Structure 1
Amino acid sequence: MPHILTFGELLLRLSPPGNERLLQSARFDVSVGGCEANVAAGLAQFDVPVQYLTRLPDNAIADGALRALRAEGVGTKHVIRGGDRMGLYFLELGADVRGLRTVYDRAFSAFAGITPEQAPFDRALDGASWLHTSGIVAALGDSAYQTLEAGIVQARAAGVRTSIDCNFRPSLWQGKNPQSLMLPLMPHVDLLIGNPGAFHEMLGEPTSGSMPEPPEALRHTAERLHRRFGMERIAITQREVRDASTHAWRAWLWQAADGVLLEGGWYVVRVVDRVGGGDAFAAGLLAALHRDVPAADAIRFATAAGAHKLTVPGDFPRTTWEEIEGMQRGR
């Protein structure tokens, strides 16, 4: 069976236990994550063959991070070694009126220094049905961006479909213009994932200014993006943060084949950990498309997978295809 390849940075996550503040606790809980690694873990849990491409230093910490990824069922044979350090992020979960707080320490990481010559896209794309990555990679520096661009162009040339989650992390861009880097990638994208705010910041799309945005406005956004860039599918998520502990989660899928905006459902979730909800959504959608699930069912499955992740601690989803299907039947 063809595999899905994800490309991005594997991170160490350091969090104070429970709802403590970053500098309140005497210790941190350590786990691994990162946007594309989270998607890879979700795909593996949905029984989709998946390979992960990244660059890590050759040390014991990186070895342990790779073991954690392999334990989820993710293939790592295309991981390359080099550089001096892994990227880190510190996460304070927040509670009620106190929101989540994230501090990144990713400058000069092994992945930030990856080059197109180092990345084995020829081998990694052989037998792949999709390449999935995100806008986060573009923010990590010139070298990472050039490698991202090379991988996407190479995938399309090889007949491999491409998926980008248009994640916007303001603190990573450090004054750079996201649109100058993201816009050249868009003509090479088959599936674009994101929320209206990310589309605005990274692609220059106007927004209605309302939250949540009405479906008609979302349909117009998808149609404009298709006219501008030609991607065949656009998935739009919306997360209404009522407080740090309660989120309303919705998503839609637009396809150029019929021009219909399909709604995936609406979930109001008591949040355990908000990190990775969008990644679980992406994994659910890619898994469903990989299985040739009808579009209306695919977006419902993906939306449920994203909502489910909000109830699970850590970056990775912890679920199965059958559990998400059962969750949908139970609603």
Structure 2
Amino acid sequence: MKGKIICFGEALVRYQPAEDSFFNESNKVMAFPGGSEANVAVKLGQTGLPVSYISAAPDNQITREFLKILKDNNVETDSFLYRGDRIGSYILLSANGLSKGEVIYDRKYSSFSQIRTGEIDWHKIFEDCSWFHWTAITPALNEELTEVMKEALEIAYSKGITISVDLNYRNKLWQYGKSPLEVMPELVKYCHIIMGNIWASHNMLGTSIDSNLHRNTSPEEYFEFAKKNSIDLFSEYKDARIVANTFRFMDNSNHNLLFGTLHSRNKSLISPIYETNDIIDRIGSGDAFMAGAIASLYQDLDLQSTIDNAVLEGYNKLFVTGDFSNTK
């Protein structure tokens, strides 16, 4: 029997105006629980897979409500760290998360950002674990968390645990004097599943990018470039087994075109293409893609089903308000 999936990353609260400006006539601001790794954990829990979420936040009512929502979605939180004085947050300055509105982070000195090496008993946490998922957001926060990630990855790798990474590139993070290219390759070398997109791979791992790729480039051309990108990654990262990419394009605030590619060392596949002009909330769509891929691979589905499921999960999230997916 396979062990549980562990997702590690910062718990966040998303604040968002109910109208087009933060200070608006209705005086209303909406709040949603989130964070990339929590989003993935919730979708996995909804899928019925054994999943545990590890993060840190103060022992207060907001944290308790946050964790109750996770538990209601079948996510185990037994190893959650109650500590510090602040839960991280971000403000999305666009109503309903539709446009490419400005994101303002408020994460410095949060409880999660203060975690240091030696404070988490990774050997105990990984006792009944068969999959460890993390994202590039964690080492983007500070140098100390980079060391925490390395500590966790070394132990997970030594135990033969499958390791997946989402190459979330956040250009407003990485403010502590090191670039992603200086940090990420050393961490990704432990990973078996590398997910993200060709542009994040370029920014974080130094793979090539074609400046001629643009919105009107055909999916077939993107697929061919993604194949080349995966060959480069497989050459550099000897333990990598799967590379998965999302391709998402927005023509206006209500529009999204989405497809994905998946690559093993001997096969490359592309998903169906989805397009809509009726999205409700774009936040968390990429995380739903990651969860769909993880769930399919965890259950040993064939690779075409894996990329098809991942893209469909990402597409379905476009019609759900908030960071978390739902069970529909």
- TM interval, shorter chain, is over 0.9
- The answer on 1:253 being equivalent to 2:262 is yes
Correspondence 1:1-331 to 2 at 5 A: 1-17=2-18, 19-24=19-24, 26-94=27-95, 98-174=99-175, 176-209=178-211, 210-211=213-214, 212=217, 214-230=222-238, 231-256=240-265, 258=266, 260-269=267-276, 270-320=278-328
Residues 79-123 of structure 1 deviation map (CA, whole Å, 9 limit, x = unaligned):
112111000111133589953321110001000011121123222
What residue identity is the alignment partner of 2:191? V
Residues 128-186 of structure 1 deviation map (CA, whole Å, 9 limit, x = unaligned):
12100100001111222111111111111011010000000000112631111101012
> How many positions carry a matched residue from both structures?
317
Please give the alpha-carbon distance, in whole angstroms, between the structure 2 residues aligned to 1:127 and 1:236.
29
Are 2:164 and 2:195, in contact at CA under 8 Å, matched by a contact in 1?
yes
Please give the alpha-carbon distance, in whole angstroms, between the structure 1 residues aligned to 2:4 and 2:97.
40
Q: CA deviation at 1:266?
A: 0.8
Please give the alpha-carbon distance, in whole angstroms, between the structure 2 residues aligned to 1:117 and 1:225.
31
Cα RMSD (Å) of the superposition? Answer: 1.7
Please give the alpha-carbon distance, in whole angstroms, between the structure 2 residues aligned to 1:313 and 1:97.
10
Q: Give ranges in structure 2 of 5+ residues lacking alignment.
A: none
With over 3 angstroms needed to count, the CA separation of the structure-2 counterparts of 1:6 and 1:53, relative to structure 1, is: same
Please give the alpha-carbon distance, in whole angstroms, between the structure 2 residues aligned to 1:262 and 1:23.
46
Please give the alpha-carbon distance, in whole angstroms, between the structure 2 residues aligned to 1:38 and 1:119.
22
With over 3 angstroms needed to count, the CA separation of the structure-2 counterparts of 1:316 and 1:98, relative to structure 1, is: closer
Please give the alpha-carbon distance, in whole angstroms, between the structure 1 residues aligned to 2:68 and 2:102.
27
For residue 141 of structure 2, give the secondary structure of its aligned residue in structure 1: coil
Residues 175-207 of structure 1 deviation map (CA, whole Å, 9 limit, x = unaligned):
631111101012101000011111111111111
Please give the alpha-carbon distance, in whole angstroms, between the structure 1 residues aligned to 2:253 and 2:105.
20
With over 3 angstroms needed to count, the CA separation of the structure-2 counterparts of 1:85 and 1:243, relative to structure 1, is: same
For residue 237 of structure 1, give the secondary structure of its aligned residue in structure 2: strand
Q: CA deviation at 1:22?
A: 2.1
Q: CA deviation at 1:68?
A: 1.8
In terms of mean alpha carbon deviation, does 103-112 or 269-278 score higher? 269-278
Please give the alpha-carbon distance, in whole angstroms, between the structure 2 residues aligned to 1:113 and 1:160.
26
With over 3 angstroms needed to count, the CA separation of the structure-2 counterparts of 1:97 and 1:47, relative to structure 1, is: closer
What residue identity is the alignment partner of 1:195? N
Q: Give % identity.
A: 31
Are 1:94 and 1:244, in contact at CA under 8 Å, matched by a contact in 2?
no
For residue 265 of structure 1, give the secondary structure of its aligned residue in structure 2: coil
What residue identity is the alignment partner of 1:262? L
For residue 272 of structure 2, give the secondary structure of its aligned residue in structure 1: strand
What is the TM-score when the length of structure 1 is the normalising length? 0.92
Are 2:97 and 2:281, in contact at CA under 8 Å, matched by a contact in 1?
no
Are 1:132 and 1:164, in contact at CA under 8 Å, matched by a contact in 2?
yes
Residues 302-322 of structure 1 deviation map (CA, whole Å, 9 limit, x = unaligned):
1100111011110001125xx
Please give the alpha-carbon distance, in whole angstroms, between the structure 2 residues aligned to 1:117 and 1:102.
32
Please give the alpha-carbon distance, in whole angstroms, between the structure 1 residues aligned to 2:100 and 2:297.
34
With over 3 angstroms needed to count, the CA separation of the structure-2 counterparts of 1:96 and 1:163, relative to structure 1, is: closer
For residue 64 of structure 1, give the secondary structure of its aligned residue in structure 2: helix
Q: CA deviation at 1:23?
A: 2.8
In terms of mean alpha carbon deviation, does 53-62 or 157-166 score higher? 53-62
Q: Give ranges in structure 1 of 5+ residues lacking alignment.
A: 321-331
Are 2:96 and 2:280, in contact at CA under 8 Å, matched by a contact in 1?
no
Are 1:93 and 1:273, in contact at CA under 8 Å, matched by a contact in 2?
no
